C-alpha cells in the first residue's frame, strides 16, 4: 500500500514558495572553490591538548588541516514521521501547508500571516562579520549555504490511530479554528500508515487510540514492513532522500540485556526472535538504518540501545537523539550555564510542569515518566563537570535535581512550567531564581522538527578528509552530535561526553557553516573598537 503524503500529488496545485538551495552570501576567500556542483573548503582546526602535572596545567596547542566537500544541490526530500497523527505531526503538517500556500488566518488579535517562528534555520540569523564602521552584520541562517526549505518537505508517516490529519489537528486543539478550517481541506486526505504497537512500551491509556497497527507479533516482519513503507514512499514520490523522525509517544526505557540488545548481531537475532525487550522505536530505527536513511529520535526513551548504535556505525547510517529540547529544558541549559560560568554554585534545581495533551496523558504512567525524567535531569551534567572549583570532593559534585510532571487535561497543549534554582553565593549567602513559563508545547516542538530535518539533510551532503592526503572523502560519524542544540539528552559517539550548554551547541553548528564557506570561528574580540 502506497503511503499518503502531503505533496503535489495529494493536494490541490498551488505555487510553491519554498526556497530550497537559495543563498545570498558570497565569501571572497582563497580557502574555497566551487567545481562541478561541489563547494571545496580548507580549514585549520585548532585546539589544545591539556595535561595536569603536579597541580599545574600543561597546554599544547594543536592544529589539524581538513578539506571539506559540500554537495551544493539540494535533493527532493521526504519526511516520514512516526506519530504523524499526534500533536506535533499534525501541527507541523498544518504549518507546512499554511506556509507553502501562503494561508493567512484570523484570530481575536487580528490577521496572522504564516511563518516559521521558533525555527533556527528559518527564523534566525548568523553573524558574518563587521562592516566598514565595525558594526556587526548578520545574514539569515538558511541563506549562508544551500539548505532544504520546509515548504518543500514531502510528508508522510505512521500512527497507531487512523484519524486523518484534519481530524488529528482538530483533536490536538493546538491551532486557531480559522487556520484549521483553511488547511483542513489539504490535510483531510492524508491518513497515517499503520504503525508498530507493543502495549508494554507505552502507557495503558493509549490502548484506546490503537486502531491502526501492523498486525502480528513477528518483530522482524515489522522491520521488513517498515522498510517496504520507506522504499515505496521514496519511489512513489520521486524522492532523492528520506528522513525518518520519531515524534510519537514516550516509551518506557528498554532494559539493556547481555546477549539481547548489547551488540548489533545480538540485536538482529533478538528482533528475529521477537524478544520482549525490543521496543517499537528501535524497530523503526533498525528499519531506517538498514535502508540507509537517517533516523532521529524526538522522545526520551533509549531507542539507541548499544546494539542499535553499533548497527548504525556498521552501516554508516546517520542517527540523532534524544528528546526535543523545546521550552523548560532549553532555558535550563542556558540558565545553569550562566550560573556556573558566573562562579555561582547551583545547589538544587526543582522543575515542575503540568500539561493536558496526549503527551502528558502518556507521561502520567510512571515508567514513561521515568524516561522523561532521565532526559531532563542530564541537561546540566557537563556544566557541573566544567567547574572543579564549585564542584569537588569537598564541596559536593552534584546538584539536587527534582522533576515533576502532572497531567491536567484542562490546560491542553499549553504546558505550564515552574522552576526554582537555589544557589550558593560568597560567604554562605544564597540566591533563588524562580521562573514561571507557559508555552504551547507543539508550537515549540514543531519548529525543532523542521530544524532537525533541514540540518540532518544538510549534514548528509558534507564529506571530509585530512588536507593533502590521498584518502577518499568520508561522511561524518553516524552519531550526528551536531544536532545536540535541538535535543534534550544529546546522543554522542561512544567514549565521548555530551555537550549540553546551549551556547556551545549553537557555536558548533555556526562555526561549521563558517568553516565550509572559508571563514574562521566566530570572533567577538572586536579589536576595531577596543584597540587604538
* Matching residue, cell 544551500: 146
Task: Tell me if 420 is assigned to some domain.
Answer: yes
Both 437 and 447 in a single domain? no
> Confidence band (pLDDT; 50, 70, 90) for 12?
very low
Residue 379 has pLDDT above 50, yes or no: yes
Beta bridge partners of 56: 53
> Confidence band (pLDDT; 50, 70, 90) for 10?
very low
What is the per-residue pLDDT across 414-440, written as a single tens digit (0 to 9) for each?
Answer: 888 889 999 999 999 999 999 998 888
Residues 128, 25: Cα–Cα separation, whole Å: 9
Active site residue 488: yes
* Matching residue, cell 500539561: 355
Which H or E element spans position 453? helix 441-459
Residue 14 has pLDDT above 50, yes or no: no
Beta strands in 36-187 (DSSP E): 38-53, 56-71, 77-82, 105-107, 110-112, 125-130, 136-140, 154-159
Question: What pLDDT sits at residue 11?
Answer: 33
Both 465 and 421 in a single domain? no
Question: What pLDDT sits at residue 367?
Answer: 66
Query: Which of 480, 484, 476 has its CA nearest to residue 506?
Result: 484
Both 297 and 281 in a single domain? yes
Task: Tell me if 36 is assigned to some domain.
Answer: no
- Angle (CA) 409-412-417 rounded to 5° is 95
Active site residue 415: yes
Cα Rg, the chain, nearest whole Å: 24
**Number of independent structural domains in the chain:** 2
Q: Is the dihedral of CA 141, 142, 148, 150 positive or negative?
A: positive
Domain end position, chosen among 420, 441, 462: 441
Helical ranges in 80-144 per DSSP H? 87-100, 120-123
Domain end position, chosen among 390, 424, 441: 441
Both 374 and 507 in a single domain? no
**C-alpha cell recorded at residue 180:** 484549521
Q: Name 338's Cβ contacts closer than 8 Å, sequence gap at least 6.
A: none
Residue 9 has pLDDT above 70, yes or no: no
Question: What pLDDT sits at residue 395?
Answer: 82
Task: Tell me if 421 is assigned to some domain.
Answer: yes
Does residue 121 sit in helix, strand or coil? helix
Both 479 and 427 in a single domain? no
Residue 3 has pLDDT above 50, yes or no: no
What is the per-residue pLDDT across 323-350, written as a single tens digit (0 to 9) for each?
Answer: 898 877 788 888 888 999 999 999 999 9
| CATH classification at residue 273 | 3.40.50.720
pLDDT (mean) for 360-374? 62
Residues 288, 296: Cα–Cα separation, whole Å: 10
Both 385 and 512 in a single domain? no
Task: Check 152, 159, 229, 323 and give the catalytic one.
Answer: 323
| CATH classification at residue 340 | 3.30.360.10
Task: Check 19, 372, 382, 451 and give the catalytic one.
Answer: 372
What is the per-residue pLDDT across 517-526, written as a single tens digit (0 to 9) for each?
Answer: 999 999 888 8
> Confidence band (pLDDT; 50, 70, 90) for 385?
confident
**C-alpha cell recorded at residue 119:** 525555527
Both 171 and 286 in a single domain? yes
Counting other chains too, the contacts that 361-365 makes at CB distance below 8 Å and 24 or more residues apart are: 361/203, 361/205, 361/206, 361/407, 361/409, 362/202, 362/203, 362/205, 362/206, 362/249, 362/250, 363/203, 363/250, 363/405, 363/407, 364/203, 364/205, 364/406, 364/407, 365/202, 365/203, 365/204, 365/205
Question: What pLDDT sits at residue 254?
Answer: 92
Query: Is the preceding omega at residue 458 within 30 degrees of 0, hence cis?
Result: no
Query: Which of 7, 3, 359 has its CA nearest to residue 192?
Result: 3
Beta strands in 382-523 (DSSP E): 400-407, 414-424, 430-440, 462-466
Question: What pLDDT sits at residue 8?
Answer: 41
Percent of all residues in the chain with a pLDDT value above 90, rounded to a whole number: 71
Identify the domain containing residue 448 by its residue range: 77-117+146-324+443-516
Both 391 and 490 in a single domain? no
Task: Tell me if 355 is assigned to some domain.
Answer: yes
Beta strands in 223-364 (DSSP E): 241-246, 295-297, 319-320, 345-355
Residues 270, 287: Cα–Cα separation, whole Å: 14
Question: What pLDDT sits at residue 326?
Answer: 83
Counting other chains too, the contacts that 423-431 makes at CB distance below 8 Å and 24 or more residues apart are: 423/339, 423/344, 423/345, 423/346, 423/347, 424/344, 424/345, 424/347, 425/344, 430/347, 431/344
> Confidence band (pLDDT; 50, 70, 90) for 362?
low
Task: Tell me if 371 is assigned to some domain.
Answer: yes
The answer to whether the beta carbons of residues 139 and 25 sit under 8 Å apart is yes
Residue 145 has pLDDT above 80, yes or no: yes
Question: What pLDDT sits at residue 114?
Answer: 97
Both 159 and 90 in a single domain? yes
Does residue 473 sit in helix, strand or coil? coil
Question: What pLDDT sits at residue 528?
Answer: 86
Question: What pLDDT sits at residue 1?
Answer: 46
Task: Tell me if 69 is assigned to some domain.
Answer: no
Active site residue 182: no
Task: Tell me if 135 is assigned to some domain.
Answer: no
The answer to whether the beta carbons of residues 145 and 458 sit under 8 Å apart is yes
Question: Helices 165-172 and 87-100 meet at what angle, rounded to 10?
Answer: 110
What is the per-residue pLDDT across 185-225, written as a single tens digit (0 to 9) for each?
Answer: 999 999 999 999 999 998 778 888 999 999 999 999 999 99
Across the chain, mean pLDDT equals: 91
Both 279 and 312 in a single domain? yes
Both 454 and 413 in a single domain? no
Active site residue 76: no
- Count other C-beta atoms under 10 Å from residue 400's C-beta: 11
Half-sphere exposure in the Cβ direction for 436 (13 Å, CA): 0
Higher pLDDT, 49 or 498: 49
Residues 292, 132: Cα–Cα separation, whole Å: 47
pLDDT (mean) for 163-182? 96
Task: Tell me if 58 is assigned to some domain.
Answer: no
Both 246 and 353 in a single domain? no
Task: Check 241, 325, 415, 441 and give the catalytic one.
Answer: 415
pLDDT (mean) for 127-149? 95
Q: Is the pTM of this model over 0.85?
A: yes
What is the per-residue pLDDT across 217-248, written as a single tens digit (0 to 9) for each?
Answer: 999 999 999 999 999 999 999 999 999 999 99
Domain end position, chosen among 383, 416, 441: 441
Question: What pLDDT sits at residue 111?
Answer: 97
- Count other C-beta atoms under 10 Å from residue 290's C-beta: 17
Question: What pLDDT sits at residue 397?
Answer: 81
- Angle (CA) 346-407-194 rounded to 5° is 115
Query: Which of 485, 478, 472 has its CA nearest to residue 459?
Result: 478
Amino acid at each position: 500500500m502506497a503511503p499518503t503524503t502531503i505533496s503535489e500529488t495529494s493536494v490541490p496545485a498551488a505555487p510553491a514558495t519554498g526556497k530550497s538551495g537559495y543563498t545570498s552570501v558570497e565569501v571572497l576567500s582563497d580557502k574555497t572553490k566551487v567545481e562541478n556542483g561541489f563547494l571545496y573548503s580548507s580549514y585549520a582546526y585548532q585546539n589544545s591538548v591539556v595535561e595536569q602535572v603536579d597541580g599545574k596545567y600543561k597546554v599544547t596547542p594543536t592544529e589539524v588541516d581538513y578539506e571539506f566537500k559540500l554537495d551544493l544541490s539540494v535533493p527532493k526530500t521526504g519526511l516520514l514521521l512516526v506519530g504523524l497523527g499526534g500533536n506535533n505531526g499534525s501541527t507541523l503538517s498544518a504549518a507546512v501547508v499554511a506556509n507553502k500556500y501562503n494561508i493567512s488566518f484570523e484570530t481575536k488579535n487580528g490577521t496572522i500571516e504564516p511563518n516559521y517562528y521558533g525555527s533556527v534555520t528559518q527564523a534566525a540569523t548568523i553573524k558574518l562579520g563587521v562592516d566598514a564602521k565595525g558594526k556587526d552584520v548578520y545574514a539569515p541562517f538558511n541563506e549562508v549555504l544551500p539548505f532544504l526549505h520546509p515548504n518543500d518537505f514531502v510528508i508522510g508517516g505512521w500512527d497507531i490511530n487512523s484519524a486523518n490529519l484534519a481530524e488529528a489537528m482538530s483533536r490536538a486543539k493546538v491551532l486557531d479554528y480559522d487556520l484549521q478550517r483553511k488547511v483542513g481541506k489539504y490535510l483531510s486526505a492524508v491518513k497515517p500508515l499503520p504503525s508498530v504497537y507493543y502495549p508494554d512500551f507505552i502507557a495503558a491509556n493509549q490502548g484506546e487510540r490503537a486502531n491502526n497497527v501492523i498486525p502480528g507479533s513477528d518483530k522482524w516482519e515489522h522491520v521488513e514492513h517498515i522498510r517496504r513503507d520507506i522504499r515505496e514512499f521514496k519511489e512513489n514520490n520521486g524522492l532523492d532522500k528520506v528522513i525518518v523522525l520519531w515524534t510519537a509517544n514516550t516509551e518506557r526505557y528498554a532494559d539493556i540485556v547481555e546477549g539481547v540488545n548489547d551488540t548489533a548481531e545480538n540485536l538482529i537475532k533478538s528482533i528475529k526472535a521477537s524478544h520482549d525487550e525490543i521496543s517499537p522505536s528501535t524497530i523503526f530505527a533498525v528499519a531506517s538504518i538498514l535502508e540507509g536513511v537517517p533516523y532521529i529520535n524526538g522522545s526520551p526513551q533509549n531507542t539507541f540501545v548499544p546494539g542499535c548504535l553499533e548497527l548504525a556505525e556498521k552501516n554508516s547510517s546517520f542517527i540523532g537523539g534524544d528528546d526535543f529540547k523545546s521550552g523548560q529544558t532549553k532555558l535550563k541549559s542556558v540558565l545553569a550555564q550562566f550560573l556556573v560560568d558566573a562562579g555561582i554554585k547551583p545547589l538544587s534545581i526543582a522543575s515542575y510542569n503540568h500539561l493536558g495533551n496526549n503527551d502528558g496523558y502518556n507521561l502520567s504512567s510512571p515508567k514513561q515518566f521515568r524516561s522523561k525524567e532521565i532526559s531532563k535531569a542530564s541537561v546540566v551534567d557537563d556544566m557541573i563537570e566544567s567547574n572543579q572549583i564549585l564542584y569537588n570532593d569537598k564541596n559536593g559534585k552534584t546538584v539536587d535535581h527534582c522533576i515533576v510532571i502532572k497531567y491536567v487535561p484542562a490546560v491542553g497543549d499549553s504546558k505550564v512550567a515552574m522552576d526554582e534554582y537555589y544557589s550558593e553565593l560568597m560567604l554562605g549567602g544564597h540566591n533563588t531564581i524562580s521562573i514561571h513559563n507557559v508555552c504551547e508545547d507543539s508550537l515549540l516542538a514543531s519548529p525543532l522538527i523542521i530544524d532537525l530535518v533541514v540540518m540532518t539533510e544538510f549534514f548528509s551532503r558534507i564529506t571530509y578528509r585530512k588536507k593533502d592526503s590521498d584518502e577518499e572523502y568520508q561522511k561524518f560519524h553516524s552519531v550526528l552530535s551536531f544536532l545536540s542544540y535541538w535535543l534534550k539528552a544529546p546522543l554522542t559517539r561512544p567514549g565521548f561526553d555530551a555537550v549540553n550548554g546551549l551556547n556551545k551547541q549553537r557555536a558548533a553548528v555556526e562555526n561549521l557553516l563558517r568553516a565550509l564557506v572559508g571563514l574562521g570561528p566566530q570572533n567577538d574580540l572586536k579589536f576595531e573598537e577596543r584597540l587604538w
